[in-house]
Structure 1
């Protein structure tokens, strides 16, 4: 979800597509839990172990405002950490999960409400057969306990079915099958979106496309806008 669009050899080219431009109506909760005008890279200071580039978040927010200019202020709460497995998110005492819940609660202190959860994760879980066997149960545990902790049962969970993997192709298909089989979630299929030369990460153009797809899914959900 952090995005590596425009990142080559661990360096971001600093090219920001028009669809990812800043707007005073789009804010982000930064690493100090303060609100500021959002800009790319959205996960700067959050996903600190990777070089952050273009992700789908800014394109998603801009697409919402293009369709509904009077939507109001959008606060993005970036929480992603690249290269992590679902087990690092499914356990209530995990560092990543605890940070995500804490940041969501911090954002709510500024007013407003949670309108959607955007989730793009799973490449790490395509590396081994053991990981893919654990994935279905761990993912379901993550989803169910996340809603219990956030206490927002009506918030749509919009997931991205993987566009790429890191191991045997059949392991990628196994993870995708789990994702596509989650009938109680809203799914955007990333398969076929352009990949960078590493064959793993989406290009900046693909991230923009994905952001627009996520916005379409948001409007097609049962959320009132």
Structure 2
């Protein structure tokens, strides 16, 4: 989810607008940067995806509360570089290798790793658009598995930690099929946190601002727990002695 917290349709014009409210958990922090559309590092602030998902009205997403929660829990964590890549309203097939979204994701990730950057995880929240057609819902698990596998191969990081979010809502009647696919992924170093039950905006599709904050904090807990995975713990301790490096987090909340 690129971030639609606080975005509602104007009652007269019907045009969506953001209320501009930024919770304290999402406030800017000098230690939290974002990779802009021009591939330069700037201080992160809401809306995190404003120059990435520029054809839509963006609001609050889980990215800033995620990063702030990490720094609150681990004050000596170092700087965090968020790499927003989400495009709202997309299906998993649009993220397949060879397509524009996939290639842009790889390009932005590679740019984030220049000058000593270290990729720490990918956050993935997508699937609402795959709930509309049963064929898409039925194919979701295989397509998601292939997307994760292809991305890890192209980034040359076969155990890239991935934290995905199981849907809170959907555009169509096949939410359960997509959720079961997300919860059933068995790839190594892939965690799933569940957004079901979080409050939704009046459109019954997008999370409210408080829900985005809560989701970001849940993702932070999952991320910090992943650092204790034996696969990653050696790299973590090596990094801890070089805190001047930037830790890149891929932020793909694509609905």
TM-score normalised over the length of structure 2: 0.85
Correspondence 1:117 to 2:91: no
- Aligned residue for 2:120, secondary structure, equals coil
CA RMSD in angstroms, aligned pairs only: 1.0
Which residue, out of 46, 70, 74, partners 2:80?
74
The aligned runs of 1:65-214 (5 Å cut-off) are 65-90=71-96, 92-168=97-173, 171-184=174-187, 185-214=190-219
The aligned runs of 1:6-85 (5 Å cut-off) are 6-9=6-9, 10-85=16-91
**Partners in 2 of 1:5 and 1:120 — Cα distance?**
14
Unpaired runs of 5+ residues, structure 2, are 10-15, 237-255
**Partners in 1 of 2:192 and 2:143 — Cα distance?**
18
What is the deviation of 1:136?
1.7
Which residue, out of 206, 219, 223, partners 2:224?
219
**Partners in 1 of 2:161 and 2:29 — Cα distance?**
24
Report the structure number with the largest CA radius of gyration.
Answer: 2
Unpaired runs of 5+ residues, structure 1, are none
**Partners in 2 of 1:5 and 1:111 — Cα distance?**
33
Aligned residue in 2 for 1:4: 4
Q: Which has the higher strand share?
A: 2
**Partners in 1 of 2:171 and 2:201 — Cα distance?**
14
**Partners in 2 of 1:89 and 1:212 — Cα distance?**
26
Runs of 4+ with deviation above 4 angstroms: none
**Partners in 2 of 1:200 and 1:129 — Cα distance?**
18
**Partners in 2 of 1:34 and 1:219 — Cα distance?**
26
1:159-190 deviation per Cα after TM superposition (whole angstroms, max 9, x unaligned) = 0000001111xx10000000001133201000
- Aligned residue for 1:36, secondary structure, equals strand
1:132-157 deviation per Cα after TM superposition (whole angstroms, max 9, x unaligned) = 12212211111110100111123210
- Aligned residue for 1:63, secondary structure, equals helix
